[in-house]
Amino acid sequence: MIEVALATFVTLFVTIDPVGLAPIFVALTQGMDQATRNRIALHAALIAVGVLAAFGLAGERMLGLIGISLPAFRIAGGMLLFLIAVEMLFERRTQRREKSAEEAPGHDPTVFPLATPLIAGPGALATMILLMGQHSGAPGTQAIVLAVMAGVVLTAYMLFRLSGLVERVLGPLGINMVTRLLGMLLAALAVQFVLDGLGDVGLLPAEVQ
């Protein structure tokens, strides 16, 4: 159980990247008072938890309805996460997120772009389907995955509330360093997803996985 919780936390943490989101939250809520910022952070976190949980619980069924096997989705999901890792390593992910923030309509960023796609983005949604699919038929383990996911989003929420302090303490250089370290870890996790998918269809021997 501890191994499942730890693997889930690491995978979702590097995919969602709460530390990297903190300065973007500051930019999205610039000029707002602290009470408004806290409200936006809370609502965005709740919406993101709902979206991620829905995809985790119903994602495998949706894949089955359209004829996509879980091994195929594992391979595709691993490739998607690897692309996100490359973006993190070469600073493209931050640029894309900042562009999404600039294109956000109106003055309330709660649903778009904060809840989705910044927190519950394509990588996080794919990760939830993959993690829940790995433990299909084990409701207790799936409950742990959902609880850890909520914990990761809670971490993002807390960092949003402390975003000004986080940005000042880490600075651009610190945030860049953390993002690149998380990118390396995510790249390794992405390759593991691909190996698992290939192993599921018998293309790799068990000792390679």
Residue 123 binned pLDDT confidence (cut-offs 50, 70, 90): confident
pTM given for the model: 0.78
- Residue with more model confidence, 49 or 22: 49
pLDDT value at residue 98: 63
- Condensed to tens digits (0 to 9), the pLDDT of residues 72-116 reads 888 888 888 788 788 878 877 666 666 666 665 556 889 988 898
Alpha carbons within 13 angstroms on the beta-carbon side of residue 123 total 27
